[in-house]
Amino acid sequence: MNLANKLTLVRIFLVPIFMFFLLVNIPYGEYIAAGIFILAALTDSLDGYIARSRNQITKFGKLMDPLADKLLVSSALISLIEKDQISAWIVVIIIAREFAITGLRVIAASEGITLAANWWGKIKTITQIVAIVALLLDNYPFKYIGIPFDKISVALAVIFTIISGVDYLYGNRNVFLSSSK
């Protein structure tokens, strides 16, 4: 197992640890959870870079990397619903987009087509991570100067989630059209 795949597994194993610190009422738990989330999110960029730079892209990585990403973001968002820090409808939009794109990728894979992520998807991921961190940190330090950065970042994450989903589905509509024949 190469380093990139090990980092993907680390991200998956960090999810329950992240959730523990976020959901169990312990001193500074939210801040520890935020640190774990940031570390896990950084492994996403790092594992992709390592796999590409070392030419070590594997079937395992192609399957597990996006799964690890979705697991991390979904667990954070669902936990934030429980903590009453984000509305469920926002989380449903974000997770529904992920299901739709995953479904499209499954259809494409069944036809031997690999669908690469595009830059809208990268912007979506960055805005989602920033929004989650802002919520985990309870809008720190912006709350002290009256800037609702957490709300702004959540709005941007929703906007880019929708744009990236529409762009990805429309840009790959040929997969739907060819699979319906």
* Tens-place pLDDT, residues 139-151: 999 999 999 999 9
33 φ, ψ (degrees, to nearest 5)? -60, -40
Do 78 and 100 fall within a single domain? no
- Report the pLDDT averaged over residues 69-73: 95
Question: Who contacts 38 (Cβ-Cβ below 8 Å, separation ≥6)?
Answer: 133
List the one residue out of 96, 152, 151, 154 whose CA is nearest residue 128: 154
Do 51 and 78 fall within a single domain? yes
Do 39 and 120 fall within a single domain? no
Q: Sort 34 into a burial class: Cβ within 10 Å, 0-12 / 13-18 / 19+.
A: buried
Indicate if the pLDDT at residue 88 is higher than 60.
yes
Query: What confidence score (pLDDT) does residue 108 get?
Result: 87
Query: What confidence score (pLDDT) does residue 180 get?
Result: 60
Indicate if the pLDDT at residue 169 is higher than 90.
yes
CA distance 80 to 136: 8
What does the mean pLDDT of the chain come to?
Answer: 93
Indicate if the pLDDT at residue 178 is higher than 80.
no
Do 41 and 90 fall within a single domain? no
Cβ atoms of residues 158 and 131 within 8 Å: no
Question: pLDDT class for 181, splitting at 50, 70, 90?
Answer: low
CATH classification of the domain holding 1: 1.20.120.1760
Query: What confidence score (pLDDT) does residue 90 get?
Result: 98
Do 93 and 76 fall within a single domain? no
Do 136 and 160 fall within a single domain? yes
Give 108 or 179, the one with higher predicted confidence: 108
Q: Quick one: what percent of the chain has pLDDT higher than 70?
A: 98
Considering the entire predicted model, what is its pTM?
0.92
Indicate if the pLDDT at residue 166 is higher than 80.
yes
Do 180 and 104 fall within a single domain? yes
120 φ, ψ (degrees, to nearest 5)? -65, -40
Indicate if the pLDDT at residue 176 is higher than 80.
no
List the one residue out of 95, 70, 67 whose CA is nearest residue 81: 95
Do 75 and 108 fall within a single domain? no
Do 50 and 111 fall within a single domain? no
Question: pLDDT class for 111, splitting at 50, 70, 90?
Answer: confident
Do 66 and 92 fall within a single domain? no
Do 80 and 92 fall within a single domain? no
List the one residue out of 15, 28, 140 whose CA is nearest residue 78: 15
Angle at 64 between CA 111 and CA 179, to 5 degrees: 15
Residues 115-140: pLDDT tens digits?
A: 877 899 999 999 999 999 999 999 99
- What range does the domain containing 138 cover? 86-181
The residue out of 84, 105, 131 marking a domain boundary is 84
The residue out of 57, 84, 111 marking a domain boundary is 84
Q: Structural domain tally of the chain?
A: 2
Do 99 and 127 fall within a single domain? yes
The residue out of 37, 54, 84 marking a domain boundary is 84
Q: Tokens for 178?
A: 């060819």
Integer CA distances (angstroms), 22 to 36, 52, 105, 128, in order? 10, 33, 32, 17
